[in-house]
């Protein structure tokens, strides 16, 4: 597929990466891909934060992409895939772009360099260098509470002028900054919220969609929130949002993606809730809370 900017809207799922016995669980990955491809999502993010991408070896990441694409092809599904990449060394990231240039993806989601706290000039040079080098379009990932540096709107608007930088996953945690960016951005530049708890609010403010970990659960409802908002049916969208808003808190009670993985395991979508250190599986208290919520929703659905 080409033209990522044409697909960068709606509900995107940052897919968890299933593990079992320390290895990539390919059977569960196939099951997840088949399941969510039929749930009304608009695209997959693979190997990013929710997918524990920084713990994946290169061969595992390549296998992750290949399996997801293979399962979609088997189901005659052509959802776009963005590959999550991150790092603090611009040169090394250029190498990663070269190594993945012929993978069956549609673009990259690239986070700001973490820990080193570059200046705005440094961020501008970093992302422009990567955009010039990449074979596929880039969506940027602004998440200052993880990276310790905020991409300001002034910098973002300059980056948005680059033809190979087509969008943003916005986790800036400032509604004021987000609204200003939505007002001033170029028409073709896509902004998707990455703040699960602010999904409805961001859509009302004019965001093009969301990259929502919580949408692993009640996926169709999250998709309906987007669809109703875009139709201008805000009351209907709000009603659907109220059905899932609590999930966005429950699934982030402890570090993500462990709570989502536990839920998916309890529902049989993955064979193990395993995460990789330094992540750990959910506490017994949260496991019990998730079990209760699964039981409650099962009864409501019945």
154 token code pair: 């002034």
31 token code pair: 């099951």
Q: For each of the chain's 302 residues, which pLDDT tens digit applies?
A: 458 989 999 999 999 999 999 999 999 999 999 999 999 999 999 999 999 999 999 999 999 999 999 999 998 888 999 999 999 999 999 999 999 999 999 999 999 999 999 999 999 999 999 999 999 999 999 999 999 999 999 999 999 999 999 999 999 989 999 999 999 999 999 999 999 999 999 999 999 999 999 999 999 999 999 999 999 999 999 999 999 999 999 999 999 999 999 999 999 999 999 999 999 999 999 999 999 999 999 998 87
How does DSSP classify residue 115?
Answer: S
Annotated catalytic residues are 141, 169
**Binding site for pyruvate: residue ranges?**
50, 211
Under 8 Å between Cβ of 138 and 127: yes
Domains of the chain: 4-233 (3.20.20.70)
DSSP codes, 40-88 = T--EEEESSTTTTGGG--HHHHHHHHHHHHHHHHHTT----EEEEE--S
Residue labelled with tokens 């990932």:
141
**Binding site: residue ranges?**
50, 211
Measured CA to CA, the distance from residue 54 to residue 276 in angstroms comes to 10
Measured CA to CA, the distance from residue 204 to residue 108 in angstroms comes to 26
């Amino acid at each position: 597929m080409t033209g990522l900017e044409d697909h960068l809207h709606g509900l995107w799922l940052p897919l968890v990466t299933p593990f079992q016995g320390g290895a990539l669980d390919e059977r569960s990955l196939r099951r997840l891909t088949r399941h969510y491809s039929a749930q009304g999502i608009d695209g997959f993010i693979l190997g990013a934060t929710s997918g524990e991408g920084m713990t994946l070896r290169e061969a595992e990441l390549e296998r992750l992409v290949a399996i997801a694409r293979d399962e979609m092809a088997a189901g005659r599904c052509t959802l776009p895939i963005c590959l999550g990449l991150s790092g603090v060394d611009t040169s090394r990231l250029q190498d990663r772009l070269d190594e993945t240039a012929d993978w069956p993806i549609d673009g990259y989601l690239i986070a700001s360099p973490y820990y080193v706290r570059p200046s705005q000039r440094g961020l501008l040079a970093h992302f422009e260098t990567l955009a010039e080098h990449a074979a596929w379009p880039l969506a940027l990932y602004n998440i200052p509470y993880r990276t310790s540096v905020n991409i300001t709107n002034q910098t973002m608007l300059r980056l948005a002028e680059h033809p190979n930088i087509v969008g943003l996953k916005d986790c800036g945690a400032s509604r004021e900054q987000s609204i200003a960016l939505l007002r001033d951005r170029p028409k073709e530049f896509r902004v998707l919220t990455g703040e699960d708890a602010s999904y409805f609010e961001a859509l009302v403010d004019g965001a093009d969609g969301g990259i929502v970990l919580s949408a692993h659960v009640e996926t169709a409802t999250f998709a309906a929130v987007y669809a109703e908002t875009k139709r201008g049916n805000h009351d209907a969208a709000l009603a659907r949002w109220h059905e899932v808003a609590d999930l966005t808190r429950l699934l982030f009670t402890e570090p993500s993606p462990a709570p989502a993985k536990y839920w998916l395991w309890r529902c049989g979508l993955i064979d193990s809730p395993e995460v990789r250190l330094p992540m750990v599986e959910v506490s017994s208290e949260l496991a019990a809370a998730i079990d209760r919520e699964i039981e409650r929703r099962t009864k409501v659905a019945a």
